[in-house]
Structure formats: structure tokens, C-alpha cells
Amino acid sequence: MTKRTRQAATFLSALLLSAAAGCSAAGGAAPARLADSGGPTVSSAAGSPAARGFTLVASGDVLPHTSVIQRAANDAVGGGHDFRPMFSGVKKVVLRADLALCHMETIYGEEGGPFSGYPAFVSPPAVADGLKDAGYDGCSTASNHTLDDGVEGLRRTLDRFDAVGLRHAGSARTAAEAARATTYTAGSAQVAHLAYTYDTNGYPLPEGRPWAVNLMRQEKIVADARAARAAGADVVLVSLHWGTEWQTEPDGTQLSLGKALTASQTGGRPDIDMILGTHAHIPQAYEKVNGTWIVYGMGDQVAGEMFNHTGARDMRGNYGSIARFTFAPPTAPGRRWEVTEAAFVPQMMDLSIGRVVNLADALAQDPGRGDYESARAAVSEAVLSRGAAKDGLTEVR
């Protein structure tokens, strides 16, 4: 297992993005942390340490329905909510990574509630504690539910993130916060994380706060990515809450925007190094486009009973994938950090036990579980549906 150390490391050059870019990226206020990746190394300039690669893990939507909230209440000792057991099955995968990112789709209520599920989600703040305990370093927070409880819900969510030591990208409490890129140090790379959503379910951006949630606009995404790169980011990750719900195949917007973003370059170097998609509720394909990996949709990591657009119970809404990519340092100055290993871990929210299950792990221990076998096959089929295997994508535990 990779040993992960956490040191406060300030990525000073990214604190204020270039005004010339004309746009800003949302960010978290917590300091960057240094991960000891133990990954691939290359010789660097004389007098400086060798460059170290890193492994990234990213997962799908955390969407606590009422039944999920009740499960966390049942798991708590002495009242409140405890989400730590819910994430325990994927903790091993998350902790192995040098950088682990989740997607917090909903916002948090007051400590004692009230809480709600669909259609306007207000989740217990203890969700953040469960994510932190599982080993996540931060989350994307731009989704169609980010404004379900207005600016107060947004504030409570990011306040809790700060309190437990999670970072965030995609929403902000102040203009100054929105003007800072969310950055991490992983291996020897400075990694910027940007996040955007297609919409906020019709809720308008709060008056006087156009920066509260990042909306998915090609020009803004490219400008933010270039500003982050100019501020010193070696790797730029973009999370997009996009796509058509219950549709395995990426829709026209995903295909066209994904192609445009991965084609964007500055000085012959891609502006964006990876796209991580959420929102569709079901696993979608991974694909290498213009030499850059796009994960169109990782599916739901946490959700209650899911019903598709026809009103039918659809087990796919409890299936998902965890993306795992290993980045190696550039082989020459001015070149990009390259993905040297691309993999996915199939997972399932098992409602019978209220836990996220690493399907590959679970089936290794109990190969006769038919429901787990069906879930694993469905996840694998979706993830590989656009030919990612030919580019080296594999299933791992």
C-alpha cells in the first residue's frame, strides 16, 4: 500500500489566477498537501529532487436519499449520523491513491436537521466526515443540486468541508474564494482541480454572487484551465456534471464538448489533462480523445432506490466505477504529465447492507454472488463500451 503523508504545502502561485484570463476557477481555502507517491521518477534539474509520479482516484455522485440518511442514523452510536461504515468497503482503494477526489452532489443542512432527499436534497453534514475517513482529499461540488437550499446550504457544505479537512472545487462562498484554483501536491506534481455543472435545476445564481457555482461553458473552462497552468499547475483535472440521465452512451454535448476541451492547447501542450464526469446516475464509458482520457460518467457512488425516467426501479442507479489513473512526470521540458496506467474499479451501493461495495474485492471472497456478478458485468460493459480497452484501460481491485 502506498504510504500517504500529509504536509502543509502552499501553492502560492495559484492563489490568485491571472486576471488576463478573464475567468476564475472555484477553489477551497485549505492548504495543499504533499503526497509521498513512491511512484515513477525521472531525473530533474541539478540540485532539485527527482520528479515523482502519482496515482489519482476519482469516484461518482454522492446522493443521499432519505433511506441513505436513515441508514447513517442507524449506524450512529448515541444519535446523529455516521456515514463512515457506508464508505468502508472502498476505503482500501481510496487510501492507496496519492490524490483521491469525490463528487458531493448535494448540500448540507444544519447539524440537527431537518434533512431531505429527492427532489431538493439537504444532507447531514456528517457525510463529509465519512468521506474524509474514507481517505478522500477533496470533492467537486458543482451540480444541479448545489443551490437546493440557496446560499446558506452552499455555505454550510463548504464550512463542513473546511472543518474536516476536505477541499472543494466548483462552488464558493466569496468572490475571493472563487478566484482561487483548488490545488493539490501529488508526487512532485502541482495538480489543479476545476469543476462545473450544466445547470442548477432552474435556481438562478444568487443575486450579486455570479461566482457561487461554476456553470459549464467551454470558454470559461478553457480560460480557467489556462490560468491554472500559468499559475504553475502541472496537471489540470476538470470535473463536469453533465450528460443525460439513465443514458449509457454519452450524449451530443458530452461528445462535442469533450472533443473541444481535449483539443484545446497552448504552446503545443494540452490545456486539460483529464475530464471526470458525473450526473447520469449510471456508469458511462471511459474514452481517450485527442490523447486525453475522458470519463463520461462514473455513476452513483451513494444513492437510495433509483427509478429511471419510465418510473421503473433500475439497479443501474446503484452501480458505479472508481477511476484510477497513474501519472508519470514528463520526459522532456514543456511536455505533459502522461497517464501510464488507466484502470477502473467496479462498485455497487448494496442497499441490503447500506454499504458501497468494491465488487471485484467482494467477488474474490464470494464468487457465487449473482447480484454482484450482474452488477460487475454491467459496470464493465458500460465503462468499456467505447473501446477503452484498446488504449490500455483495465479492471482492477
Query: Residue 191: is its pLDDT beyond 70?
Result: yes
- Neighbour count for residue 243 (Cβ, 10 Å): 23
Span 62-81, average pLDDT = 97
User: What is the arithmetic mean of pLDDT over 67-81?
Assistant: 97
Question: Can you give the pLDDT at residue 23?
Answer: 33
On the question of pLDDT at 359 being above 70, the answer is yes
Determine the 3-state secondary structure of 262 from DSSP: helix
Work out whether strand 107-108 and strand 122-123 pair parallel, antiparallel, or are unpaired: parallel
Kind plus residue range of the DSSP H or E element containing 358: strand 355-358
Q: How confident is the model at residue 13 (pLDDT cuts 50, 70, 90)?
A: very low
Q: Grade residue 212 by pLDDT with cuts at 50, 70 and 90.
A: very high
Give the model's confidence band at 276: pLDDT under 50 very low, under 70 low, under 90 confident, else very high.
very high
Q: pLDDT band at 50, cuts 50/70/90?
A: confident
Position 36 confidence tier, pLDDT thresholds 50, 70, 90: very low
CA angle 39, 98, 378 (to 5 degrees): 105
How many Å apart are CA 87 and CA 81, to the nearest integer? 13
Backbone angles phi, psi at 299, to 5 degrees: 75, -175
Q: Kindly provide the residue ranges of all beta strands, DSSP E only, lying in 25-125, ordered along the sequence.
A: 32-35, 41-42, 51-52, 54-62, 99-104, 107-108, 122-123
Q: Inform me whether the pLDDT recorded for 99 exceeds 50.
A: yes
Which neighbouring-strand residues pair with 51?
42
Residue 218: its pLDDT value, please? Answer: 98
CA pair distance 298, 100, nearest whole angstrom: 14
Please determine, for residue 297, whether its predicted confidence score (pLDDT) is greater than 60: yes
The pLDDT of residue 8? 33
Confidence of residue 334 (pLDDT cuts 50, 70, 90): confident
The pLDDT of residue 391 is 98
pLDDT category of residue 49 using cuts at 50, 70 and 90: low
Q: Is 165 exposed, middle or buried (0-12, 13-18, 19+ CB in 10 A)?
A: middle
In the chain, what percentage of residues exceed pLDDT 90? 86
Average confidence score pLDDT of the chain: 90
| Conformational region of residue 108, where left means phi above 0, alpha means psi within -120 to 50, and beta covers everything else | beta
Superfamily of domain 8-395: Metallo-dependent phosphatases (3.60.21.10)
Rounded CA-CA distance 305/221 in Å is: 34
Residues contacting 20, CB < 8 A, separation 6+: none
Q: What angle do CA 342, 346, 352 make, to 5 degrees?
A: 160
Q: Please name the residues in contact with 96: beta carbons below 8 A apart, sequence gap of 6 or more.
A: 1, 2, 55, 57
pLDDT tens, 236-260?
999 999 999 999 999 999 999 999 9
Task: Tell me if 9 sits within 8 A of 32, measured CB to CB.
Answer: yes
44 near 52, Cβ under 8 Å? no
Confidence of residue 44 (pLDDT cuts 50, 70, 90): very low
Q: What are phi and psi of 42, to 5 degrees?
A: -135, 160
